[in-house]
Structure 1
Amino acid sequence: MTKALISIDYTYDFVADKGKLTAGAPAQAISEAIAQVTQQAYDNGDYIFFAIDGHDEGDAFHPESNLFPPHNLRGTSGRDLYGPLGEFYQKHQENPRVFWLDKRHYSAFSGTDLDIRLRERRVDTLVLTGVLTDICVLHTAIDAYNLGYRIEVVKSAVASLNQENHQFALNHLQNVLGAIIIE
């Protein structure tokens, strides 16, 4: 079994109090856990992909422009990784097992070469972390499921805007997509 950890959108705009589309306290509460899980995956020799939302200012054609305020704009600090995860990336970004992947939509697979990169490395299991459990994490998991990957979600390293959405997503991940929820 070859694993890759997919760290989804754990950026300033989604986590910090002053972020443009922040999940606030629930996302901040997972800061240490997400850093620890990422370091553990790195120490285990797993691949690490930072799948990060990237938008262009004034892009009226992007469907999210009608749903959410501008966020994770290219060239802004809103796209910086939050907390210790940022330090991890700065330290290991030159390692051939660590990747930054710009994504345009909710899923880390939509419009990216993630599937190709995973298959080249014979990855069969994805460990998902990040925010938001019920949006980008869930959509990434749905695509992973449809592409035949095994899915693991680290419960202490994912968060949503509220507990109800978070729990719905965890239930869906486990009961509909067959994801293993790691406590």
Structure 2
Amino acid sequence: MLYNKFSHFSIESGTDEAGRGCLAGPVTAAAVILPENFENKILNDSKQLTEKAREQLRPFIEEQAISFAVTHLEPLVIDEINILNASIKAMQESILKLNPKPEYIIVDGNRFKPVLDIPHSCIVKGDAKFMSIAAASVLAKTYRDEYMNRIHEEFPMYNWKQNKGYPTQEHREAIRKYGITKYHRISYRLLPEQLKLEI
């Protein structure tokens, strides 16, 4: 069972990200403020839900939320500041877009940096404990998947529509065969040692 609130503040935002482990595409974060009486029996950590369930939840969350925001940070930024900092920055930027400004922030995971003067708590596996973080995880995942489906049309040989940029064997074989694109994260190990090209 997911809880509605963590703090005693009335305007509490949950935030989460998707795509940290991917070889290509953005890291995407969302922040959500839900009403205190929000209810949904399906909502859970996005990784525990089917794609169909996530797609059904997204418009429901957007309709019911007091406020929500989503941010994509591109591979260039990830390569420049590293994936942890990029994930935190994407969550911070999403929070800054919220209206009203949250009085408290709950973050999935164990690392975060303060936004303005808003107090926060990091909650390990928070997306399986609190409604607003779970909602943020669903929005981050669905918006990122949508983005990957879109760039799949540009580079279909990597099959991002299916693997969403994650390091599947098929994705790595395509990198070995076709090289990399502007959407790949060059700071990542894109190929295991045994697949490196001999030059």
TM-score, normalised by the number of residues in structure 2: 0.33
Report which structure shows greater RCO (CA 8 Å, sep ≥6).
2
TM-score, normalised by the number of residues in structure 1: 0.35
The structure carrying a bigger strand percent of its residues is 1
